[in-house]
Amino acid sequence: MIEKDIERRFVFAADLAREAGRCAVRYFRDRSLAVTMKGQNDPVTAADLETDQLIARRIAGQFPEDRILSEESGGNPADRLWIVDPIDGTLNFARGISRFAVSIAFFWNGTVVLGAIYDPIADEMFTARRGGGAFLNGSPIRASAISEPKSALVEAGYSLKRPLADYHALVGRLLEAGYNVRQVGSAALGLAEVACGRIDGYCELHLASWDVAAGLVLVEEAGGRTSDFFTDTGLTDGNFLVAAAPALQAHLHEVAERER
């Protein structure tokens, strides 16, 4: 794959995230939305499915040789792979809380080479391209310069895939180490906020690749650091994740990982 192919996909990903976000918002404004539960506190709405199908159609139309791995329709690893979360923050979305986003990334040669996260309510488009920087609505962004846990605000996402006791223990360790901790229901937006320095770190005991793929390249291109999410079977099975401001990541990782 040459530079021109990646550039084409980068422009396409941002346009598609915006179009998909607008599709999701139409459903969000219509509160008659049909919600089905995939599991306890794990809803899927007609908007997730419709947005997912829109994204799949557009990718197939523009890049028929590429493959897709998506939260709603699954998929398999491939050489050229789009990693898609049509609506990250579905629980918020389904409850009428305006914190959700479309996340689209392209994975090639063992790494995420570009990502777009679009928050359609705030009209904020986060984009990053490997080696090309990270941006919010076209302006460059940087992770924060915070180095002290006592000055840091981090998010500890709650994963339904892990026992509640592990989450309690994680939050307990973070608070004892001095971090201020929050949990607001979208890993993609949490990572985007690490990338632009609104928060200083994000950690979660288990996430899927569609939750984090775009966010990882954003944080790294904004000067932040991330744990090695795609090691072993991270792409297909998910993984533990810590992403943070550069001077904080090692400490946050150590605290989050202890007794994991």
Question: What residues make contact with Ca ion under the rule CB under 5 A?
Answer: 85, 88, 211
Closest distance of CB 92 from ligand IPD, Å? 7
Q: What letter does residue 217 receive in the DSSP assignment?
A: H
Shorter beta-carbon distance to ligand IPD: residue 47 or 59: 47
Closest distance of CB 159 from ligand IPD, Å? 4
Which stretches of the chain are DSSP H helices?
Answer: 3-29, 46-62, 90-94, 164-176, 187-195, 209-221, 234-237, 249-257
Question: What is d(CA 198, CA 217) in angstroms, rounded to the nearest whole number?
Answer: 17
Region 4-63 residues binding ligand IPD, contact defined as CB under 6 A = none
**158 touching ligand IPD, by CB under 6 A:** yes
Q: Which residues contact 68 (CB under 8 A, 6 or more apart)?
A: 55, 56, 59, 75, 81, 82, 83, 84
Position 60, amino acid = A
Closest distance of CB 257 from ligand IPD, Å? 17
Position 1, amino acid = M
Closest distance of CB 43 from ligand IPD, Å? 8
Q: CA-based angle 103:238:68, to the nearest 5?
A: 50
Nearest residue (beta carbon) to ligand IPD? 157
Q: How many residues bind ligand IPD (CB under 6 A)?
A: 15
Q: Is the separation of the CB atoms in 245 and 146 below 8 Å?
A: yes
Closest distance of CB 135 from ligand IPD, Å? 22
238 binds, options ligand IPD, Ca ion, none, Cβ within 5 to 8 A by partner type: none
Which position among 52, 71, 200, 221 is part of the footprint of ligand IPD (CB under 6 A)? 71
Question: What is d(CA 18, CA 4) in angstroms, rounded to the nearest whole number?
Answer: 22
Which position among 17, 25, 52, 85 is part of the footprint of ligand IPD (CB under 6 A)? 85
Shorter beta-carbon distance to ligand IPD: residue 51 or 186: 186
Region 205-234 residues binding ligand IPD, contact defined as CB under 6 A = 207, 211
Dihedral, CA atoms, 157, 159, 165, 171, nearest 10 degrees?
Answer: -10
Structure tokens at 76: 């398999």
Classify residue 140 by burial, with Cβ atoms within 10 Å: 0-12, 13-18, 19+. exposed
**89 touching ligand IPD, by CB under 6 A:** yes
Print the binding letters for residues 172-191 with ligand IPD: x by CB under 6 A, - otherwise: -------------xxx----
158 binds, options Ca ion, ligand IPD, none, Cβ within 5 to 8 A by partner type: ligand IPD
- What residues make contact with ligand IPD under the rule CB under 6 A? 71, 85, 88-91, 157-159, 185-187, 204, 207, 211
